[in-house]
Structure 1
């Protein structure tokens, strides 16, 4: 299942390149939700994927955000509790064996949620974007393990992690529904952090299968390197996540957490190659909005 927002070429390629059955013989059904794209981008998406076997397209007349969009798909009556859900960003590409390795690990039953190693960059110089992650309750921040490292530096064996990115988690529908899916009010970012926390709080495990590889364009629907949209929601939803899991607001204002609250503002102002002040203002607005949550 995937949520489309103004990336018809990427989404169409993902859908068209996907197999119709898993290596174990399970039938694959692809559910796409268009999140109020422009008329032209929706037309292009329809032209490319409508009529393909096993593909459904639902069109929303409002932008639901990533999490609520995924929740809308997952709540469909045609999806059974025992069905496997693979939530995929539209700007991803499967590498050989990725689906088989994830399916096998999920079927083994030790992990409730599994995810691949996700890499980015071009074919000549790929780098790791995600290979597991950690959630710090001291500073209220998330770190991607091995971020920026070469693929050869990744471990070989499947391992447990604290955090699974929302770009490509695989789980049964019963798991996704048991935690309530993603929080509807997050719109973008941090919804995967909440889902990871919630699954683990119920006593289940998250697993990374580093031998399964998936390419990710990184930020295609919100704008590359990074957009004001990214900075607003990343800053805001850190406060939302903290509130939702019972962390007092003062932890995000003072001390270690306070320094983390300044990080997106400083990053936008000092490290962005263009549009620094508009992005810094977005981060400030997101922080102020978060304080009012």
Structure 2
């Protein structure tokens, strides 16, 4: 099997990361001589010492190490640091796997992903089936974000979703391996040649949308992106970021990342179209709620304002023009 390095980016989630390392400890042989590197994004809360101590105490130092960074540059930034370390290794590395700190890797998950990549030479990226804490499964194989997908997201109308099924981002994961547009970065493996051809992840994304961007660029370059449900990983989604807490106001970096993705791949006009279609869809949804024809969902606080006003302000201040288009060097 191909040699695989795993990169875990930690930011103030030391206990979760240690649990993830513990789940990997029985699957070290499946790395084919590779290693696990935990990149600490300048947590400043004692995470680094806790991680060093856990690795020494549990006898994991033969296959795991900690890489402290001097600033928190975000998810892509931390992963890029780990990826560079992997590719600079004296030992040959076939694959690099990205793994969230809030994951528990089920038995055989690494072997299934690496085996799939070994057997599919045009597969550049593959992702696992993600299990949630309740025992259900998350959507981990996605279609690409587009202006029409934003209309569907805003409207939350089953009939419209069926009409726009080719554009609905969050599809049912399924039980068979299949190609898709992008897979969740919570558990994602990439071929070395893809990284060498594409360059690093775009660390202009602080958090969110970076894996969608990387997968989509890889597809446009001719590589295949696959969902592999034989590889199963438990993902405590939101445990590391709090993104699932609906009552909280969503962090500005989510809106920044969404804006960056749409401008990068569709231009400023595409961002405006996406926002317009989302607003139209959301208006119909709110009208249905007002008429008691739908159930009001719990959006993050100030969600509509933060999304629409944030993008308008970025356009009026000219910040969107500094976002590189796809194919340009970020």
Q: What TM-score does the superposition give when structure 1 sets the normalisation length?
A: 0.82
Alpha-carbon offset, residue 117 of structure 1: 0.8
Check whether the contact 1:114–1:171 (CA below 8 A) recurs between aligned residues.
Answer: yes
Q: Distance in 1 between matches of 2:14 and 2:281?
A: 33
Q: Distance in 1 between matches of 2:232 and 2:92?
A: 27
The residue aligned with 2:290 is none
Q: Distance in 2 between matches of 1:80 and 1:197?
A: 29
Asked if 1:52 corresponds to 2:54, the answer is no
**Which of these two proteins has the greater Rg computed from alpha carbons?**
2
The residue aligned with 2:277 is 259
Number of aligned pairs? 277
Q: Distance in 2 between matches of 1:22 and 1:46?
A: 18
Alpha-carbon offset, residue 181 of structure 1: 2.2
Asked if 1:195 corresponds to 2:206, the answer is no
The partner residue of 2:301 within 276, 279, 283 is 276
Alpha-carbon offset, residue 230 of structure 1: 4.7
Alpha-carbon offset, residue 183 of structure 1: 0.5
The residue aligned with 1:211 is 230
- Sort the Cα spacing of 1:283 and 1:44 in 2 relative to 1 into closer, same or farther, 3 A: farther
Bigger mean CA deviation after superposition, 132-141 or 164-173: 132-141
User: Aligned-pair RMSD on alpha carbons?
Assistant: 3.0
The residue aligned with 2:191 is 172
Check whether the contact 2:249–2:301 (CA below 8 A) recurs between aligned residues.
Answer: no
Check whether the contact 1:225–1:272 (CA below 8 A) recurs between aligned residues.
Answer: no
The residue aligned with 1:98 is 109
DSSP-derived class of the 2:204 partner? helix
Asked if 1:74 corresponds to 2:83, the answer is yes
The residue aligned with 1:33 is 39
Check whether the contact 1:95–1:213 (CA below 8 A) recurs between aligned residues.
Answer: yes
Asked if 1:61 corresponds to 2:85, the answer is no
The partner residue of 2:177 within 158, 163, 175 is 158
DSSP-derived class of the 1:61 partner? coil
Q: What TM-score does the superposition give when structure 2 sets the normalisation length?
A: 0.73
Q: Distance in 1 between matches of 2:305 and 2:54?
A: 38
Check whether the contact 2:109–2:231 (CA below 8 A) recurs between aligned residues.
Answer: yes
The residue aligned with 1:223 is 242
Check whether the contact 1:115–1:164 (CA below 8 A) recurs between aligned residues.
Answer: yes
Q: Distance in 2 between matches of 1:272 and 1:218?
A: 17
Alpha-carbon offset, residue 287 of structure 1: 3.4
- Sort the Cα spacing of 1:230 and 1:143 in 2 relative to 1 into closer, same or farther, 3 A: farther
The residue aligned with 2:162 is none
Q: Distance in 2 between matches of 1:207 and 1:99?
A: 15
Alpha-carbon offset, residue 138 of structure 1: 3.5
The residue aligned with 1:150 is none
